[in-house]
Chain A
Amino acid sequence: MIAAPKPDLVTVNIDGREIAVPKGTNVIEAARLAGVDVPYYCYHPKLTVVGNCRMCLIEMGMPAVDPATKAPIMDPATGKQKINWIPRPQIGCATNAAPGLHIRTNTPQIKDCREGVMEFLLINHPLDCPICDQAGECKLQEQATGYGRGYSRFIEQKNVKPKRTQLGPRVTLDDERCILCSRCIRFCKEIVRDDVLGFIDRGSYSTLTCHPGRMLTNNYSLNTVDICPVGALTSTDFRFKMRVWFLKQTNSIDTESSVGANTVVWSREGIIYRITPRRNDMVNDTWVSDSARELYKPVRAADRLTAIKIGNVDSTLDAAVKAAADLLRANAGAIAVVGSGRSSVEEQFLTRKLAEVVKASIHFVSRVAAGDGILISSDRNPNTRGALVTGLISRFEHAGSAGVRPASAEKAGKMPALPGGVVTGALSELAARIDAGTIKAVVSINEDLVAADLTPAQLAKVAVIHVGTHANATSAAAKVVIPTTTVFEKNGTFVNQQFRIQKFYKAVPGPAGAVDDLIALERLGTALGAAAAATEVNALWTTLAAEVPALRTMTFANIPDTGLLLDATPWTGLHFIEGETLHYKPAAAAAAKA
């Protein structure tokens, strides 16, 4: 790795404290580094600066120099260079750090300014915190407490505005609460390039609205709800469902594509209520797609597998493992294992161990659909590279790859409401071998083989062992079914398109009857003669670190929350299908640019 050049550091003085910050850092970020809180609403680290909320007012000064000679003017009282303070306050978000910049955030003038801004923001604010979904994570609540006057002098009637405008299929606008910070407008314009939002009317009647004839339908619309500092934009799905202070936050990973956007799962008492993005400047910044937020819904779906079955009769894990082992022994030499790019690194490792002990041929289901150039790539498996890293597969083919091209970012405005059209497959080799009669038993690791190229007739020819979460054609045809857990119900890691290994944690317990994937795979492996392995992630990682070259010297606990970049050189020759996404450039494009 070539070391990044050191950014130019400049020394600024914030509330009497000198701190060195990269040149061009704005005062809000510089103050954050110095441990000083500068309140703001409209500023967002990933969006352009507009400076329209006026909350981040600061006093600013520069060291005095003689205009003619440029010689420093000294203050005889202190013996230091005199500071020329600007008499009026400046906004912190649009003030960049320059050498010698002096900032004061704790003067009476600034206190007055903040109280004044808060009072104006609250004049027409409905103060309906008891019915507001933002309550508990509302900047207006926090900053009214921290910097507000504490009482209102406004005795007139407040403005009344529409309370439930549908801006799009997933976003509801409560206009009264809006403080016109324009974050949502800038997000749509700059990040999604789907410029649908804007303000109309003037003064206290200003209203956020969609462009006539259009709606906020893009697949990133719910990020506007996240960045809304108040409760104006609310998620139609989460609206009035649960107060945020009840919800437990668990770090997770978006499984819809190989981007691996970082997320937080919000749950209470074993029920997931919402999924929001988690900041990772190397992967997804502070965004995540709307479709990723829907991923919790199948967790409590009716088609969830919750009973261990042998030949459609309820059974126990011991019996099912024995039945599966007998089935595989009976068909020794004619076994195929279908691995999954949706399994975690740890599960793929145990899948490999299982396949090795029964000398099975390994197949891998690919999922391909057009990417959107932002946070959904064309490889819809979250852990294709994990299978390479763990040695489950050494090459892969993509289903229908000829027809799929990643959508360019310019076309993002024409994106479908929710991405679909996933082509699943790449099991043609397995199909051919079943037809030829050389495969008699198939172990499917959470994959629906019928959806992935095989015909029901082909499936009927083989004995199927299904280890998976949801009912499908494969589980219906299977001789042995072991229900397992979803990504929200277990710990593990995924390797994303940058070869960044990222952790996800168990947010909720699995349903009664479901077996942890690692336990199921380990029991199957040991029943067939494999060496016993740990079924707890931390313990399993000692084996992983010892046996997988790319994960050498790593432990599960040591992987940071923002992930760890693995050395990808062993796989540089492979052709990956992904186009460019937010923080990923395909190898070919990167090489062409270099």
Chain B
Amino acid sequence: MAIIPLERKPLTFVERTYVPNIMAGLKTTWKHFVRPKETMEYPEERPAIPPNYRGVPTLVKDPNGREKCVSCQLCEFVCPPKAIRITPGEIPPDAPNGHVERAPQAFDIDMLRCIYCGMCEEVCPEEAIFLQQQYSMTGYTREEMVNNKARLYELGGTLPDEHFKWDKKKAAEEHGNDRH
């Protein structure tokens, strides 16, 4: 590799006054003064979140208010950073949703671990877990950053259901398919 020495041209008189460069700089400044604003007054103002946004994972209920999660633990299995921890439980037979049999006793998502990948939503066979539009999770302690079951349902709310899988099962029972 040969070293090629370049000769620096001497500055002209106009260039030595710096006036053209100052004017060029001020032009950029003035351009931004008159341009529409890109930023917003967060947190008073909030951005519009697109519908397929992957925010904080939440648990949802169906339009009849039924807890959709049956604690199959597939999300716990698939979760890459192991942020989800479920304790499975049983629904007593005489409860209104006794025919569903299973529901989580405890459901914790550690938001310090969550990487918002959305695999839990993708894997859920009951369409019970959704990454919704909530994007800002803050807390003063580590415990505050773990969403428990009550908090997850509070964040999730109710989403429309296309299947009503378990209601169909109950309908079959009421139709008399259990007798002959």
Whether, in the assembled complex, B180 has its beta carbon less than 8 Å from a beta carbon of chain A, the answer is: yes
Whether, in the assembled complex, A131 has its beta carbon less than 8 Å from a beta carbon of chain B, the answer is: yes
The segment out of A219-227, A240-248, A395-403, A493-501 that lies at the interface is A240-248
Nearest-neighbour CB distance to chain B for A201, whole angstroms, equals 8
Q: How many Å lie between the Cα of A241 and that of B74 in the bound state? A: 14
Whether, in the assembled complex, A239 has its beta carbon less than 8 Å from a beta carbon of chain B, the answer is: yes
The segment out of A25-33, A158-166, A298-306, A420-428 that lies at the interface is A158-166
Nearest-neighbour CB distance to chain A for B130, whole angstroms, equals 16
Determine the residue in chain B with the shortest Cβ distance to A129: B125
Nearest-neighbour CB distance to chain A for B98, whole angstroms, equals 9
Determine the residue in chain A with the shortest Cβ distance to B128: A130
Residues of A contacting B126 with CB < 8 Å?
A: 130
Residues of A contacting B109 with CB < 8 Å?
A: none
Q: Known interface pairs A157-B172, A245-B77. Does A164 touch B70 (Cβ–Cβ under 8 Å)?
A: no
Chain A 524-537: CB-based contact to B (< 8 A → 1; otherwise 0): 00000000000000
Residues of A contacting B167 with CB < 8 Å?
A: none
Q: How many Å lie between the Cα of A160 and that of B73 in the bound state? A: 25
Most buried by B among A129, A130, A159, A164: A130
Q: For chain B residues 144-179, which have a beta carbon within 8 Å of chain A?
A: 168-169, 171-173, 175, 177-178
Whether, in the assembled complex, A135 has its beta carbon less than 8 Å from a beta carbon of chain B, the answer is: yes
Nearest-neighbour CB distance to chain A for B43, whole angstroms, equals 39
Determine the residue in chain B with the shortest Cβ distance to A243: B73
Nearest-neighbour CB distance to chain A for B71, whole angstroms, equals 8
Partner of A131, one of B70, B173, B175, B178: B70
Query: What is the number of contacts between chain A and chain B, taking CB atoms within 8 Å?
Result: 57
Q: For chain A residues 103-120, which have a beta carbon within 8 Å of chain B?
A: none
Q: Give 17 A-B contacts (CB < 8 Å), ordered by A residue.
A: A130-B72, A131-B72, A131-B102, A135-B72, A157-B168, A158-B169, A158-B172, A158-B177, A160-B172, A162-B178, A163-B99, A163-B101, A164-B101, A240-B88, A245-B77, A246-B76, A246-B77
Q: How many Å lie between the Cα of A239 and that of B72 in the bound state? A: 12
Q: How many Å lie between the Cα of A159 and that of B178 in the bound state? A: 6
Partner of A239, one of B90, B172, B178, B180: B90
Assess whether B100 is in contact with A131, with CB atoms less than 8 Å apart. Answer: yes
Whether, in the assembled complex, B93 has its beta carbon less than 8 Å from a beta carbon of chain A, the answer is: yes
**Hey, which bits of chain B sit against chain A, CB under 8 A?**
70-74, 76-77, 88-90, 93, 99-102, 125-126, 168-169, 171-173, 175, 177-178, 180
Assess whether B89 is in contact with A246, with CB atoms less than 8 Å apart. Answer: no
Residues of A contacting B76 with CB < 8 Å?
A: 246
Most buried by B among A126, A157, A205: A157
Residues of A contacting B88 with CB < 8 Å?
A: 240-243
Query: Which 8 pairs show the lowest CB-CB distances between chains A and B?
Result: A130-B72, A160-B178, A131-B102, A157-B172, A160-B173, A160-B177, A243-B73, A130-B125
Q: How many Å lie between the Cα of A157 and that of B90 in the bound state? A: 26
Assess whether A240 is in contact with B177, with CB atoms less than 8 Å apart. Answer: no
Most buried by A among B76, B99, B169: B169
Partner of B101, one of A131, A162, A242: A131
Residues of A contacting B169 with CB < 8 Å?
A: 126, 158, 160
Residues of B contacting A241 with CB < 8 Å?
A: 88
Q: For chain A residues 184-239, which have a beta carbon within 8 Å of chain B?
A: 201, 205, 239
Determine the residue in chain B with the shortest Cβ distance to A135: B72
Q: How many Å lie between the Cα of A38 and that of B173 in the bound state? A: 36
Residues of B contacting A130 with CB < 8 Å?
A: 70, 72, 74, 102, 125-126
Residues of B contacting A126 with CB < 8 Å?
A: 169
Assess whether A243 is in contact with B72, with CB atoms less than 8 Å apart. Answer: yes
Residues of A contacting B99 with CB < 8 Å?
A: 163
Nearest-neighbour CB distance to chain A for B108, whole angstroms, equals 15
Determine the residue in chain A with the shortest Cβ distance to B171: A157
Assess whether B177 is in contact with A205, with CB atoms less than 8 Å apart. Answer: no
Nearest-neighbour CB distance to chain B for A196, whole angstroms, equals 24
Q: For chain A residues 397-426, which have a beta carbon within 8 Å of chain B?
A: none
Q: Known interface pairs A130-B125, A135-B72, A160-B177. Does A243 touch B90 (Cβ–Cβ under 8 Å)?
A: no
